[in-house]
Amino acid sequence: MLVIAKLGGQVAVWLKQPPVLGELFAGILLGNLDLVGIQVFEQAATTESVGFLAEMGVVLLLFEVGLESTVADMRRVIPSSGAVAILGVLAPLGLGYGASMIAAPHASRALHLFIGATLCATSVGITARVLRDLGALGRPETRVILGAAVIDDVLGLIVLSVVTAIAQEGAMPSPIHALTLLGLAAAFLIGALFLGRYVMPRVFRIGAGLQTEGVLGAMAIALCFAFAGLSSIAGLAAIVGAFAAGLILDEVHVRPFGSKTKHDIAELIRPTAAFLAPIFFVRTGISVDLRGATLHVLLLALLLGAAAVAGKLVSGLGLRTRGVDRLLVGIGMLPRGEVGLIFADAGARIRVDGHPLIEPSIYMAIILVIMGTTVAAPPWLAARLRVAPASSPSPSSSSKSKRAAGAE
């Protein structure tokens, strides 16, 4: 699985696509070898050891995503990116819910909600890489896109946790219960921020006094898994806690170790994540059964794809800054990438009355939408950048843009 994941990633790089798509395609290939009589990998997705490694990989992956930003960064971008992020969550959620109801009118509301929640995702990593490769990191739209994508991840994870709780209960909650779920998610994030600001700096200073090797990396991973576990105990998705752990870490934590920025932690985590995360994406691909690629599935994918694209393009309307291209911002929010795959996989693992919440045919349609939006965004961004006039941001805005780009 690891070898074919890396080979698939390399093919994607040759085609100027994110490696995650190659890893996903590699999994689809492995999972459908039984069509030619090879059944070695047929049950790999349900193997306990593979599942364990994949879950560790996705937790570390979300921890890495959290490390890309800080609470201070989020506070800075909220004025310009907050409305874009909120629209970028609410519009795909509503449109996805409606598209799901049209395509599967007899399905449960929990399924419609989960499909809508999956369409909320935005891959900040893929977006940042595309903008960097296009030489657009200095544009004011970049600061808005990257800031909104980070806030989008936070809001999307909260929505995912609430929808997961609803799906596991098998029924729509009362308004009071729904508010309780939202309050629980918000309370966890606020509690995580409190620990990160007032408690964890002292813990890391104590750790810096230890003479053993690799203390910083060990403490960072321990914090990641501790927050993931606490999040799960609180009834939220474990990946919410992992993301929060990465978000709260900043320079205050790493300075006692002689490090200048928390990106030193990312360098320590990256080798482990590079080994485990591909297993998650390959396992996700293995779960896609090509025998279910019927006309109904393709039509469902087109309907959900239209909702996914429209929902993110609408987000640009939340921008109130003059001289900034709203369509460019909307296009920049399109890629779902690894975050969308994580959301889809979470739904596929939920069982309602002994059956998966997301049936294989619907799962395949969602995977097609995630792949389609991820592949379509780079050329569309490039085309829009050629025709969109370059704004002239103020010096302060320009310096902030460079700092946000450097954080990526």
CATH number at residue 351: 1.20.1530.20
The per-residue pLDDT for 309 is 94
Given a contact cutoff of 8 angstroms between Cβ atoms, the answer to whether 52 and 59 are in contact is no
Distances (CA, A) of 212 to 144, 216, 220, 264: 42, 10, 15, 18
- Determine the 3-state secondary structure of 276 from DSSP: helix
Provide CB contacts within 8 A for 296, sequence distance 6+.
Answer: 361
The CB density around residue 353, as the number of other CB atoms within 10 Å, is 6
Res 304 pLDDT > 90: yes
- pLDDT bin (cut points 50, 70, 90) of residue 174 is low
Cα(317)–Cα(290) distance, integer angstroms: 38
Residue 123 lies in a domain: yes
Residue 75 lies in a domain: yes
Residue 32 lies in a domain: no
Q: Which two tokens stand for residue 235?
A: 């009834």
Cα(389)–Cα(33) distance, integer angstroms: 49
Res 364 pLDDT > 60: yes
Distances (CA, A) of 334 to 64, 124, 222, 394: 21, 10, 33, 27
Res 202 pLDDT > 80: yes
- pLDDT bin (cut points 50, 70, 90) of residue 401 is very low
* Lowest-confidence region among 67-76, 137-146, 225-234: 67-76
Distances (CA, A) of 1 to 7, 54, 75, 368, 373: 10, 11, 41, 21, 25
Residue 403 lies in a domain: yes
Residue 359 lies in a domain: yes
Given a contact cutoff of 8 angstroms between Cβ atoms, the answer to whether 292 and 83 are in contact is no
Please give the distance of CA 38 from its chain centroid, rounded to a whole number.
33
- From the number of C-beta atoms within 10 Å of its C-beta (0-12, 13-18, 19+), residue 81 rates as buried
Residue 34 lies in a domain: no
Per residue in 261-299, is it b (16+ CB within 10 Å) or e — as a string?
ebebbbebbeeebeebbbbbbbbbbbbbbeeeeeeebee
- pLDDT bin (cut points 50, 70, 90) of residue 169 is low
Residue 7 lies in a domain: no
Given a contact cutoff of 8 angstroms between Cβ atoms, the answer to whether 67 and 269 are in contact is yes
Give the largest CA-CA distance in the chain. 63
The per-residue pLDDT for 271 is 85
Residue 50 lies in a domain: no
Q: What would the pLDDT profile of 314-343 be if each residue is shown by its tens digit?
A: 988 887 777 778 888 889 888 887 778 888
Residue 241 structural domain? 59-407
Given a contact cutoff of 8 angstroms between Cβ atoms, the answer to whether 345 and 61 are in contact is no
Cα(41)–Cα(84) distance, integer angstroms: 42
Residue 235, amino acid? G
Give which of 48, 52, 66, 8 is closest to 407, Cα–Cα.
66
The per-residue pLDDT for 284 is 82
Q: What would the pLDDT profile of 91-117 be if each residue is shown by its tens digit?
A: 999 999 999 899 888 888 888 888 888
- pLDDT bin (cut points 50, 70, 90) of residue 389 is low
DSSP state at residue 352:
E
% of the chain with per-residue pLDDT over 90: 8
Cα(165)–Cα(223) distance, integer angstroms: 24
Domain count, the chain: 1
Res 14 pLDDT > 70: yes
The per-residue pLDDT for 402 is 42
Locus of tokens 């690629």? 293
Provide CB contacts within 8 A for 391, sequence distance 6+.
Answer: 139, 140, 141, 323, 324, 325
